[in-house]
Structure 1
């Protein structure tokens, strides 16, 4: 308490308060200027606008693309009466396909892959050596014959830049 009665201390506190007010004013001005910017035409825009939440493909479009892929691969009315169907699936292009199918060693199969949407995808099928090809997203399936199949068939499909839609695949055993 004795220190507060000291005139030198009171004078020192006044300078500290003035300095704090000055620093607070400068920081406030810097924050206001830093949070917005002016374009060359003088209009103000937010520095970091929030990204829009609009998806590139709506759920109705996704369902329509799924139906196209299912139809192209004959999944919409698939019956396994002949016992040749092995497996099939659908994925978004953004997710890709990364599957490892178990096959009967030495038998022959067909792999059909279709992309419905926009752009292209890269198909990689690994048997003994990887086979790569580019597939258009035009709802036309590409087929690859797998002869003398390994126990595991690795299939990877990844969308190329700007691609969107649905990827489908189907594996069937070849009839003898």
Structure 2
């Protein structure tokens, strides 16, 4: 209340009045532009597109898809076949998988790949020559045997246009 009794606070100094007279039109223009640009874009596409929950996987959806992929591959479960676990992982379908596992020469392995989500991914396994396979994102694992492995094995999984979700892989050494 003491501030109201101060004549400078009620009427302002010349500097304060000058700043207020300059800032008022600027703030008004910013408010008008902000409000009008929001109302103009309601029917059309956004000038600055932002990801929405419908266009990308939300955190809860991503976790559910990760769990589906892990369950389909048996990640975290004990292997009852006697095969020896080598490596596994999960990635977003949009990021893909690009791994170069260290395998023992002459041994045989099983590669399992699963995609949980929508669309399809392309799996490429390269030892001497590339072998390609398209996999649907339906949470059903696809298995491929790698026999007489070489030290240089490349595994690449790339999401095809419109694919989304989680891609998982698991490599096991076959028991003898």
Give the TM-score, by structure 2 length.
Answer: 0.70
- Asked if 1:64 is matched to 2:75, the reply is no
Structure with greater Cα Rg: 1
Partner of 2:13: none
Shift of 1:78: 4.0
Shift of 1:79: 5.9
Higher helix share: 2
Contact 2:114 2:141 (8 Å CA) reproduced: yes
The superposition leaves residues 34-82 of structure 1 with CA deviations (integer Å, 9 ceiling, x where unpaired) of xx9xxxxxx9558962212314111000000000000000003246995
Shift of 1:126: 0.3
**Matches of 1:160 and 1:172 in 2, distance apart?**
26
Q: Over aligned residue pairs, what C-alpha RMSD do you find?
A: 2.5
In structure 2, list runs of 5 or more residues that go unmatched. 1-35
- Asked if 1:85 is matched to 2:85, the reply is yes
Contact 2:73 2:170 (8 Å CA) reproduced: yes
What are the equivalent positions in structure 2 for 1:25-40 lying under 5 Å apart?
A: none
- Asked if 1:152 is matched to 2:152, the reply is yes
SS at match of 1:104: coil
SS at match of 1:102: coil
Contact 2:120 2:135 (8 Å CA) reproduced: yes
Residues 68, 141 of structure 1: CA spacing in aligned structure 2 closer, same or farther, 3 A cutoff? Answer: same
Q: In the alignment, which of 45, 48, 51 is matched to residue 50 of structure 1?
A: 48
**Matches of 2:69 and 2:61 in 1, distance apart?**
12
Partner of 2:162: 162
Give the TM-score, by structure 1 length.
Answer: 0.70
**Matches of 1:44 and 1:71 in 2, distance apart?**
47
**Matches of 1:92 and 1:110 in 2, distance apart?**
22
**Matches of 1:142 and 1:81 in 2, distance apart?**
17
